[in-house]
Structure 1
Amino acid sequence: MQLFNPTASVAPGDRLTLGWLKSGWLYLMLLPALWWGWSSLSLSRSLASVVLTVVTVGLGHSIGLHRGIIHRAYRCSRLTRGLLAYCFVHSGLGGPLSWIRVHFYRDYWQNRADCPAYFRYDHSAVQDYGWNLHLALTPADEDVYAIPPEDLHDPWLVFLQKTWYWHVLGAAGLIWALFSFEAMIVCVCLRISVTILGHWFVGFISHKYGYARYDIDEAAEHGYNNFVLGALSFGEGFHNNHHAHPSSARMGTEWYEVDLGWYLIRGLRQLGLVWDVQVAGQTNTQKPTARSRAYRWRWPWQE
């Protein structure tokens, strides 16, 4: 199995190369977390790490970047948008423009029947770990993905894209100086390692296993919903719902689908920080090619 093969299947003209910054950053966080993480854990440090995860992953990634900037699921001021983007930077997932680009690449291909293997999920978790966390895609023509130019050329997002790792490393140094080395390990290295690996794992599982209530015509990937991963990932694990309702701020559309990201958005709306919130079942968020169907379950043993 060729885990790091840059000639893995992509669209003609597109190029896969080893993402040195992406993979190097992962192990820069992961190796110290594995070496010192367990011995550095304490109740107070763990609670602080959880709070930082809510702010950086919940508000920054799921609410700010994914639902807000990419899918325009609500409106907000430029100040709120910029603050949420800065929270995303401290998730340690990478630069905002890199994530915007990759998201548009994936959405474009996964909604087509001729989706290349790189964007499909008919391979193993081991292979996906290699592809997803270590390779970088350079498309032959980025214009076909219709990425909003106001995002690509936003001065704040461009600045964060160029400097995101310095913000994270600066915060790590500050925590070390003000608190302790152990606090830095738990609140930065361990938290970011869990965030990166958790995001990859949720993305892999939610495209492979769970239940689906929508079919999407001509799409190679429909996504699946997962009760546990959906709750743990601020709603991102309800991926079939998201594929069918991409502009909905609420990903858990049923009462039993716990979408913590939706509660964060409701809180922001009550504070007057976001408005014109798009919600599945209340506003027109359903993709024209998405069709409701009886629940379909898929499990690993059905491979």
Structure 2
Amino acid sequence: MKLVDTERVKAGPGCDATTGRVVFEPAKALWWGGHGLGGLAALALFPSWGGLAAFLALTALTICAGHSVGMHRLLIHRSFTTPRWLERLLVWLGTLVGMAGPLGMIRAHDMRDWHQRQALCPPHPSHGAGFFKDGYWQLMCRYQLERPPRLEIEPQVAHDPFHRLVERSWMAQQLPLALALWLLGGWGWVLWGICLRVWVSLTLHWMVGHFCHRSGQQGWHIAGLPVQGYNLPGWSLVTFGENWHGNHHAFPHSARLGVEKGQLDPGFWFIRILETLGLASEVKLPASQAPREGLMRRAAAE
């Protein structure tokens, strides 16, 4: 079976996209579970409006400006450009979501994308398992191929000293924020603003990925691929536009994910604000790129 290369992932001789296994990762499981326990402690032992406000504000900031805009649309897809200092700030905010460092995020995203572009895709990268099994796989395990492809991250990212530093210490990046929260509101704010926030962010990210690859509303279809992207109408303000995953499969390098009329996309609003301030340029839209091979129009999204 001929394998398809992507911009960063290259299938060398002997590469196999389907022969692999799901491997339990104790550190990953402890990271997710430990933050979950801390989140329960926040709710049970330190209920407060201040803690709730810290949780909501930091969750919105790190997911919107950090994960959706900084990590996903900027670092991974290069759908717009910013000054280097701002890129680093946005990527750092994305690291605070608690998934991985910048290079780890590229690796996880691009390997999953590479798998989903093949004629056959295993159930782990396709989110093909049932709800609870997929949750266990994604939140506590990794998929290990016997003969994996090469991941070639561009030198300006792979060799960036800031990205390399954050990559080596991505878990510890929570500590400066935890100290600030402790000074402002004690241990209760730490549990609300770190533990509960990280657990909710990780769990929500998995759930969006799970449902957006299963079924749902679809404005476009990619012919010949077993894994499709679907939209989740009604989840725009919670996911900051990442719910329009069917659109993203159709136009992966577009900075705008909510491309249909009425599709709210707070992440794109933030990019437009940066552009107005002169801090973002070369903003890509669906019309900025050639149509993806096999792209077929379906009914317009509601």
Aligned pair in 2 of structure 1 residues 161, 137: CA closer, same or farther (>3 Å)?
A: farther
Within 2, Cα distance between the matches of 1:151 and 1:98? 12
User: What's the CA shift for 1:277?
Assistant: 0.2
Residue 25 of structure 1 is matched in structure 2 by 31
Given candidates 57, 61, 84, the residue that maps to 2:67 is 61
Is the 2:22–2:137 Cα contact (8 Å) retained in structure 1? no
Question: In 1, distance between residues paired with 2:279 and 2:301?
Answer: 38
RMSD: 2.2
Alpha-carbon spacing, 1:273–1:240, altered in 2? closer, same or farther (3 Å): same
Give the match for residue 233 of structure 1: 239
Q: What displacement does 1:16 show?
A: 3.7
Deviates more, 1:21-30 or 1:99-108: 21-30
Match status 1:203 vs 2:209: yes
Which whole-Å CA distance do the structure 2 matches of 1:60 and 1:285 have between them?
28
Matched, 1:71 2:66: no
From the superposition, tell whether residues 44 and 108 of structure 1 become closer, same or farther in structure 2 (CA, over 3 Å): same
Given the alignment of the two structures, is residue 118 of structure 1 paired with residue 120 of structure 2, yes or no?
A: no
Match in the other structure for 1:156: 162
Task: Find the aligned partners of 2:239 and 2:291 in 1 and give their Cα distance.
Answer: 22
Q: Distance in 2 between matches of 1:287 and 1:93?
A: 29
Q: SS at 1:267's partner residue? A: helix
Is the deviation greater in 204-213 or in 33-42?
Answer: 33-42
* Paired residues of 2:119 and 2:226 also in contact (CA < 8 A): yes
Give yes or no for contact 1:104–1:147 (8 Å, CA) kept in 2. Answer: no
Q: CA deviation at 1:241?
A: 0.2
CA distance in 1, matches of 2:53, 2:185: 14
Deviations 1:64-120 (A, max 9, x none): 010001101001121111111111121222222111101111111112221122222
Please, which moves more after superposition, 214-223 or 260-269? 214-223
**Residue 136 of structure 1: SS of its match in structure 2?**
strand
Q: Distance in 2 between matches of 1:219 and 1:246?
A: 15
**Counterparts of 1:285 and 1:37, CA distance in 2:** 49
Match of 1:222 among 216, 228, 251: 228
Give the count of matched residue pairs: 287
Deviating more after overlay: 51-60 vs 39-48: 39-48
Distance, in Å, in 2 between the alignment partners of 1:227 and 1:81 is: 29
Aligned residue number for residue 7 of structure 1: none
Matches within 5 A, 1:37-56: 37-56=43-62
How far did 1:153 drift?
3.0
8 Å contact kept, 1:214–1:222:
no
Q: Which residue of 2 aligns with 1:287?
A: 292
**Contact 1:112 1:218 (8 Å CA) reproduced:** no
**Shift in Å at residue 173 of structure 1?**
3.3
SS at match of 2:172: helix
Residue ranges of structure 1 left out of the alignment (5+ in a row): 1-9, 298-303
Contact 1:61 1:88 in 2 (8 A): yes
Question: Is contact 1:245-1:285 (8 Å) kept?
Answer: no
> What whole-Å deviation, never above 9, does each CA across 1:143-184 have from its counterpart, x for those lacking one?
544443433333221111111111203422332234211111
CA contact (8 A) 2:102 2:166 kept: yes
Asked if the contact 1:211–1:295 (Cα under 8 Å) also holds between the matched residues in 2, the reply is: no
Deviation of the 1:294 alpha carbon? 2.7
Letter matched to residue 148 of structure 1: E
User: 2: distance between equivalents of 1:82 and 1:140?
Assistant: 34
Which 10-residue stretch deviates more, 148-157 or 98-107?
148-157
Residue 292 of structure 1 aligns with an amino acid whose one-letter code is R
CA distance in 1, matches of 2:294, 2:157: 26
* 1:189 corresponds to which of 176, 195, 200: 195
Superposed displacement of residue 45, structure 1? 2.5
2:221 and 2:228 in contact (8 A); partners too? yes
CA apart distance, 1:31: 0.5
Give the distance between the partners of 1:67 and 1:188, measured in 2 at CA: 24
Q: Report what 2:277 is aligned to.
A: 271
Are 1:246 and 2:252 matched, yes or no? yes
Q: Say if 1:245 and 1:38 are closer, same or farther in 2 by CA, change over 3 A.
A: farther
Distance in 2, matches of 1:16 and 1:208, equals 20
Aligned position for 2:107: 101
State the partner residue of 1:3: none
Q: What percent identity do the matched residue pairs reach?
A: 31
Stretches of structure 2 that go unaligned for 5 or more consecutive residues are: 1-15
Q: Structure 1: how far apart are the matches of 2:111 and 2:289?
A: 24
Determine if contact 1:202/1:229 at 8 Å carries over to the other structure.
no
Spell out, residue by residue over 1:262-288, the C-alpha distance to the aligned partner (whole angstroms, 9 max, x if none): 1111111111111000012x4226423
Q: With structure 2 as the length reference, what TM-score do the two structures score?
A: 0.87
Letter in structure 2 aligned against 1:70: I
